[in-house]
Amino acid sequence: MSKTKALIIEDHPDNMVLIGRLLEKSGYQTLCAFTGLEGCEMARQEKPDFIILDVQLPDIDGMEVLCRIRAELGKEIPVIAMTGNALAADRERMMAAGCDCYIEKPIDTQRIISQIRYVIGEADERGLC
Ligand code: MN
């Protein structure tokens, strides 16, 4: 059986390494994109099983990435949005645009795994999305 494929869209190299290692350790195959446009392109080409999406990106922001992915690929791929900006309005905007889970940085490593397992349907526990 092939591994569950994750796409991480994150411009900060340290966060990319941290999340990438965490996901690989948890048995996921990881793909990395450092810009929003690169992320959209990889989502189209690779059809990942889920996406971890940073909201603050250098080119198009996470909101735009999410809208493009939903417009082009539908609702199939779960998206976990991630931000250092804990504004309730941003969370509502992202949830309304179709993200499945919205989490704040710094990343809680145990919690993000339970959130991933929930959005991809491997766990019943919601994991505080
Ligand atoms: Mn960022």
Contact 120, 49 (CB under 8 A): yes
The 10s digit of each residue's pLDDT in 93-114 is 999 999 999 998 888 998 999 9
Predicted local distance difference test score (pLDDT) of residue 127: 63
Residue 1 Cα to ligand 1 midpoint, Å, equals 33
* Ordered alpha helix ranges (H), the chain: 13-25, 36-46, 62-73, 88-96, 109-119
The 10s digit of each residue's pLDDT in 67-97 is 999 999 999 999 999 998 778 888 899 999 9
Residue 58 Cα to ligand 1 midpoint, Å, equals 7
Residue 105 Cα to ligand 1 midpoint, Å, equals 10
The 10s digit of each residue's pLDDT in 4-32 is 999 999 999 999 999 999 999 999 999 99
Global confidence as pTM = 0.94
